[in-house]
Structure 1
Amino acid sequence: MSAIVEQATLWQRVRPVLAVFDAPLAGGLLLLAAIGLTIMYSAGFDHGTRFVDHGRNMALGFLVMFAMAQLPPQKLMRLAVPLYTLGVTLLIATALFGITKKGATRWLHVGVVIQPSEIMKLAMPLMLAWWFQKREGQLQVPDFAIAGLLLLLPVGLVAKQPDLGTAILILSAGLYVIFFAGLSWKLIIPVLGAAAIGLVALVASADTICEPDRVWPLLREYQKHRVCTLLDPTTDPLGKGFHIIQGMIAIGSGGVGGKGFMNGTQTHLEFIPERTTDFIFAAYAEEFGLVGAAVLLLAFVFVILRGLVIAAQAPTVFTRLLAGAISLSFFTYAFVNMGMVSGILPVVGIPLPFVSYGGTAMVTLGLALGMLMSISRSRGLMQR
């Protein structure tokens, strides 16, 4: 009697490959990708191949996410110290021998031109999660102080380049790890209170501190202009305030339902600067209105909450801290980008995840989310 050999169906062949993805998280990311491709087609309509390039970058981001999801968290933990050491070394080399463009020394030539600060977006949460894993069960105040030093070293080097946007992302990722590790609210609340008082004082004295001859000791001149422009963009409507004013006009003109796909006047008449990169949210809100903005916000909230669920269910201190930091870093990207476009935060170079154009940011996000997928997958394997 001849044996009957059943051929595997296409789904049976594909299913093991897709098993590395966390289904809810992947669904939220695909929704963001669909929104990103839709608005990029409109905003980048007269930008040559920008829509095609964005699709290629997005595919690359998902590819590196898939590859990173294959690595178990134990291997990710082994990468922490070498990657952090490499990142800091390259940042020091950049400060000494880096390439300067438009007044910023952010790039280093090592056969190819790289931007070492991008490495620290991943290395920072990995390193601090590794540190707190090693100190599990014996954490004391000096351990948090050491973590603070590990964080401030690369943040200081990146801020000095200067690259305030990347410094904010690295700082926030590290602070999230320290917070989840158990930093006392007795230390957090005074810092938040001092920041709130400083913000109120800044707004109250905006007229005097923003005078042309006033020097701010800790900030460069262009950073001072960004803060003062945020406080009152109409003081330089055709210069420093142009970005914020046009972004706010575009968002407001979208109304509830938006002007419709490909019908954004501020976008297609080229009033919105950087409409395919940092200010793409203004183009999106103009064409899809409050309803579209709400859908985008809900998609981001879903991805962030799913990441926090993965963190809460993670089996080790390292995976819990890393997953939590990656999830809230995703929040930082979205909040800062939308905030600066809406005129509630200073303009810094932070893209909107999976929506803004940019290959480097897409790869960095793909690697970070791949780590999150890896943590989710390891939890599932342990439960079996």
Structure 2
Amino acid sequence: MSSSSQYQLSRQSQHSDHYHGTTLWQRIHIDPWLTLLLLTICCIGLTVLYSASAQDSEMVIRQLVSYGISLMVMFVIAQVPPSIYRTLTPIFYLVGLMLLVLVDIIGEVRMGAQRWINLPGFGSMQPSEFMKLGMPMMCAWFLSKRELPPSIFSVVVTLGLIVIPVLLIAKEPDLGTSLLVAASGLFVLFLAGLSWWLILGTLVLSIPIAIFAWHFLLHDYQQMRVLTLFNPEIDAQGAGWNIIQSQTAIGAGGLSGKGYMDGTQSHLHFLPEGHTDFIIAAFSEEFGLLGVILLLFIYACLLSRALYIAFSHSDIYSRLLAGAITMSFFLYVFVNVGMVSGILPIVGVPLPFISYGGTAIVTLMAGFGLLMSIHTHKTV
């Protein structure tokens, strides 16, 4: 046998051993634990939505379609190696910025906010949602090319990358999304090894910035949301109504809840947005404290698996991106639950995979597709 034939046979044998040494899940680039937990949360979401929407079957079907599309997006994204995403990250970020500028020029106005771009034949698109991924991807791309922990120059440039889209989103106005997008970029900075004196300095600097924002940037209704956080009764029929009715629904559920479809706050339309931002209040009324603990436990399991994926990877870009996506997902859950229970201002953040919605679900599932890509392409 010639040496070239021996080499070819050896390569084929190595490829065969490598293929048989991987599981089916690794070959299709899907993490079974993340998938199982995501499907569980989606099933809970459909169950709660049917009750919270007053048995609106059409809404449940639309949500089911959103789940189907988002799962397909997750699967497709998981097939692409992280190196491809790293290469395309600057393009994705710049396209996101251009779409945000386009929103300001030709965006569709709804309920006083200019956040959507109308796509004839396809409905509307909210570009700010895509920056929830574009932001951590860009920050991870920039910092992964530099020495860590980041220098003052790297920190300043990263903050510049964060501020530009955040200001464009805040101008729509969409304070909740702008804060979440900013947090996703700041999480990358934190995970990159930002020194504590810089963190403390940023916190001190944020005080005068917050004062300036309160007087010159926040709208009157946004200021009222903060004020009613501390005393909802000052505007019980206006800005304080949401918090009061939400807390009433949560308290009415008690330990074990009133029972499925037996809630009164949402069914009698006392609870505002019971199928979107305040859906966990409707869930709490029907399933009680025990039901909420179970749901939060499932979220905790999902976050634990995502953190394991993030910190088991050696590639800097992949680790920073996976860690930021995981921490951002935690923030979504924390802000929604805190907002509904009255410990945080109302900023319009939906509960991931439970609240009714389309673009937000696809964006969140795309983030988990990136996590699966990072995890499975490491081992295959």
> TM-score band (shorter)?
0.7 to 0.9
Matched residue count: 354
Alpha-carbon distance in 1 for matches of 2:378, 2:26: 17
**Residue-by-residue CA offset, 1:302-322 (whole Å, 9 max, x unaligned):** 111211111101130000000
- 1:294 alignment partner in structure 2: 293
2:72 alignment partner, one of 63, 78, 90: 63
Alpha-carbon distance in 2 for matches of 1:336, 1:137: 30
Structure 2 alignment gaps of length 5 or more = 1-22
Cα deviation for residue 110 of structure 1 reads 5.9
Q: Please say if residues 313 and 379 of structure 1, whose CA atoms lie closer than 8 Å, have aligned partners that are also in contact.
A: no
Alpha-carbon distance in 1 for matches of 2:238, 2:149: 54
1:153 alignment partner, one of 144, 148, 164: 164
Provide the identity percentage.
45
Cα deviation for residue 41 of structure 1 reads 1.8
- 2:185 alignment partner in structure 1: 174
**Residue-by-residue CA offset, 1:168-203 (whole Å, 9 max, x unaligned):** 11111101111101111111134446769999xx9x
Give the TM-score normalised by structure 1. 0.87
Q: Please say if residues 158 and 164 of structure 1, whose CA atoms lie closer than 8 Å, have aligned partners that are also in contact.
A: yes
**Residue-by-residue CA offset, 1:309-339 (whole Å, 9 max, x unaligned):** 1110113000000000110111111011111
Q: Please say if residues 333 and 351 of structure 2, whose CA atoms lie closer than 8 Å, have aligned partners that are also in contact.
A: yes
Alpha-carbon distance in 1 for matches of 2:163, 2:191: 18
Cα deviation for residue 63 of structure 1 reads 1.3
Is 1:322 equivalent to 2:333 in the alignment? no
Query: Aligned letter for 2:97?
Result: V
Distance change (3 Å), C-alpha of 1:198 and 1:82: closer
1:103 alignment partner, one of 112, 117, 122: 112
Is 1:30 equivalent to 2:39 in the alignment? yes
Structure 1 alignment gaps of length 5 or more = 1-13, 203-214
Alpha-carbon distance in 2 for matches of 1:238, 1:53: 32
SS state of the match for residue 216, structure 1?
Answer: helix
Cα deviation for residue 121 of structure 1 reads 1.1
Superposed, 1:1-384 pairs within 5 Å as 15=24, 19-109=28-118, 113-136=124-147, 139-192=150-203, 216-381=215-380
Q: Please say if residues 136 and 317 of structure 1, whose CA atoms lie closer than 8 Å, have aligned partners that are also in contact.
A: no
Distance change (3 Å), C-alpha of 1:349 and 1:48: same
Query: Aligned letter for 2:133?
Result: L
Cα deviation for residue 253 of structure 1 reads 0.8
**Residue-by-residue CA offset, 1:71-119 (whole Å, 9 max, x unaligned):** 1101111221001001111212222333333322212346564322122
SS state of the match for residue 169, structure 2?
Answer: helix
SS state of the match for residue 216, structure 2?
Answer: coil
**Residue-by-residue CA offset, 1:47-68 (whole Å, 9 max, x unaligned):** 3511122122112211111111
**Residue-by-residue CA offset, 1:326-362 (whole Å, 9 max, x unaligned):** 1011111101111111011111121111100101111
Cα deviation for residue 139 of structure 1 reads 3.8
CA-based RMSD of the aligned residues comes to: 2.2
Distance change (3 Å), C-alpha of 1:347 and 1:15: same
Distance change (3 Å), C-alpha of 1:135 and 1:360: same
Give the TM-score normalised by structure 2. 0.88
Q: Please say if residues 98 and 105 of structure 1, whose CA atoms lie closer than 8 Å, have aligned partners that are also in contact.
A: yes
Q: Please say if residues 28 and 79 of structure 2, whose CA atoms lie closer than 8 Å, have aligned partners that are also in contact.
A: no
